[in-house]
Copies of this chain bind each other. A is one copy, B any other.
Amino acid sequence: MPYELHYWPGIQGRGEFVRLALEAAGVPYVDVARGDESAGQGVPALLHYLNDGSVTRPPLACPVLVDGKHVIGQTAAILLYLGPRLKLVGASEADRLWTHQIQLTIADAVDQAHNTHHPVGLGLYYEDQKPEALRAAQEFRSQRIPKFLGWLEAILARNPKGSQHLVGARLSYADLSLFQLVEGLLYAFPKATRRALKKTPLVLALRDRVAGHRRVSLYLRSERRIPFNEDGIFRRYPELDG
């Protein structure tokens, strides 16, 4: 049975961190909500896991990974589960925990990026919170982007196995997530992110290395990669960059 990924069909969103891991590993998976309802796929299949009272361990939100009887929510928990199975994490407990810690910190950066366009209400439109968004984005650009990228740079610089990867000497899901974070920031805040990246050359080099990974680069050029857009987490609202 291939892995089933359940995520909103029109955006990269948090599901993209799972897609990148599955694609980099080259394992078969079904992106269920983008499939055909007549084949039991589509959004109804996704909503089953969120809303159906028969699900004993219901996730609160997407992404959801289904692997046989395992139903797993929370992006970082999914990657914790997939990491060893996809050989995208080291073998030791210390390496697994450190990779997970990096993933959780990248998830914090993603949450804060989302907050720039939705500072006062997840249930409101961006257009209904623009003045607040302008203020939120200002601090995110000037403080948070440099802080997160600077932290990733320090990890690469201090890696005893070399600066090619965040953990050890091999590709991990944390590397893939760094790539996605940088891509998202470059899409949403191109000016501020390019400025910050000038001070984090190791982060930029790892971003390029992941983009050049054979299976990842094939994926990025395929139709399976949904383009960034203004329904996702990383949105290009020029007034929020600067």
Contact = CB atoms under 8 A, between A and B. Distances in A.
A147 B115 CA distance: 19
A125 to B, nearest CB: 13
Interface in A74-103: 74, 76-77, 80-81, 94, 97-98, 100-101
B72 A101 contact: yes
B129 A135 contact: yes
The size class of the interface chain A forms with chain B is 35 or more
A120 B139 contact: yes
Contacts of A60: 105, 108, 147-148, 151
Contacts of A129: 135
A111 interface: yes
A84 B194 CA distance: 43
Chain A contact residues, majority secondary structure:
helix
A155 interface: yes
Contacts of A70: 94, 97
A108 to B, nearest CB: 8
A42 interface: no
Interface string A56-82: 111110000000001011101100110
